[in-house]
Amino acid sequence: MTRGDDIRWHAVQTKPGQENKAAFNLRRQGYGVYLPKYTCLRRHARKTERVERPIFSGYLFVAVDAGRQGWHCINSTLGVARLVAAADKPVAVPHAVIQALRDREGEDGCVRLEPQRHLKSGDKVRVTEGAFESFLGLYEGLTASERAIVLIDFLGRKVRTLFDPEALAAA
């Protein structure tokens, strides 16, 4: 759905892991939906594959034409937890935010994220996904297989752990 006079974008919180289900069901109801995704590497069972993940885990954007569509039924859509609202009124997301995300999409439809700044040994990092999500540690370097070595404090001990470099952010 494109920008129109009565069209407003709103954030929708989805049920855990149900972003695609919510997007599908909202589209079936005639709403414009934008679920921005990015690609990352996933390692599993000695295989590495590129997968798409939502940029805003648990959220998507829905376009509502105030002149012809109501927003109350969004909350009862399969996969949706709630429409983000304040004082029982949905909060509009500026068109510029949606456009900025769309401007960064590649040919595959995924948003290109800014490359990680080059981490140096001794930099403080935060784990952004996985079992150690939100743990803090010290970056030590990369292995030959391009896994990041991070020293984290786990149960009162310093533990050297390997992570996907995309799962780290500067702290």
pLDDT digits (tens, 9 = 90+) for 66-77: 778 888 899 999
DSSP string for residues in 95-155: HHHHHHHHHTB-TTSPBPPPPPPPP-TT-EEEE-SSTTTT-EEEEEEE-TTSPEEEEEEET
Q: What is the pLDDT of residue 2?
A: 47
In angstroms, the CA 132 to CA 43 distance is 16
Q: What is the pLDDT of residue 150?
A: 94
Q: What is the mean pLDDT of the chain?
A: 87
pLDDT of the residue at 117:
56
pLDDT tens for residues 48-57? 788 899 999 9
Q: What is the pLDDT of residues 143-164, one digit of tens each?
A: 877 788 999 988 888 899 998 8
| Domains of the chain by start residue, with CATH | 7-103 (3.30.70.940), 124-170 (2.30.30.30)
Evaluate if pTM is beyond 0.85: no
pLDDT at 115: 52
The segments of the chain whose pLDDT lies below 70 read 1-5, 114-117
